[in-house]
């Protein structure tokens, strides 16, 4: 299964509570912060909700 590198590129100031909660659930804390997660349908749904705040870089496959 592949991993995704997710980078927050915009601040959550002024965003709705749900968007802030999604960022926290992903482990993103501030602009410029990067986390890595397994690519799952649930993760893709979370990213779709906050796509205006994050950048996505597909990582290497996990072994």
- Domain range annotation of the chain: 2-61
User: What CATH class is the domain 2-61?
Assistant: alpha beta
Instruction: Report the pLDDT value the prediction gives residue 62, as an integer from 0 to 100.
Output: 52
pLDDT band of 58, cuts 50, 70, 90: low
Enter the pTM of the model.
0.85
pLDDT in tens, 10-29: 999 999 999 999 999 999 99
Long-range contacts of residues 52-56, Cβ cutoff 8 Å, at least 24 apart: 52/10, 53/8, 53/9, 53/10, 53/12, 53/15, 53/19, 53/23, 54/6, 54/7, 54/8, 54/9, 54/10, 54/23, 54/28, 55/6, 55/7, 55/9, 56/4, 56/5, 56/6, 56/7
């Amino acid at each position: 299964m592949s991993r995704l590198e997710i980078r927050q590129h915009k601040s959550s100031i002024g965003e709705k509570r749900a968007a802030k909660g999604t960022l926290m659930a992903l482990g993103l804390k501030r602009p410029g912060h990067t986390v890595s997660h397994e690519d799952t349908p649930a993760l893709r749904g979370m990213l779709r909700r906050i796509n205006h705040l994050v950048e996505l870089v597909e990582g290497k496959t996990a072994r």
